[in-house]
Amino acid sequence: DSWVKKHVDKVILVAPAHMGSPCMLPSYAHAPIGTTADQFFPLPNGLEHGISQVTATWACMIAEMPVPVGGAAPWPADHVFASTPSKEYRLADMEQFLKDA
């Protein structure tokens, strides 16, 4: 920690893998294909529900959620990643988003 403070003064986050990706929120809430597939072909309700249940348990879905990196916030604190009629989810709300979804 002291070495980092002495030698590193800026961090440039290049890829979403380190800080998560906002596109994971609708994918987690409604299966990865649910956010785009219905635009091209509708899925039978049973199949869509089954895929949603399976993909919601993939470890990568949780690992790719937006997160702070080493104390640095990659997005502004007021950035809304997901919203419902009654709640807005910001970076600090990712844990609650997972519980609610």
Q: Identify residue 52 by its one-letter amino acid code.
A: S
The per-residue pLDDT for 48 is 66
CA dihedral 67, 79, 35, 23 (to 10 degrees): -30
- Residues 94, 80: Cα–Cα separation, whole Å: 11
pLDDT digits (tens, 9 = 90+) for 16-48: 555 567 777 777 776 555 555 555 666 666 676
State the average pLDDT over residues 55-66.
74
pLDDT digits (tens, 9 = 90+) for 78-95: 999 999 999 999 989 988
Overall pTM > 0.75? no
Q: Identify residue 74 by its one-letter amino acid code.
A: P
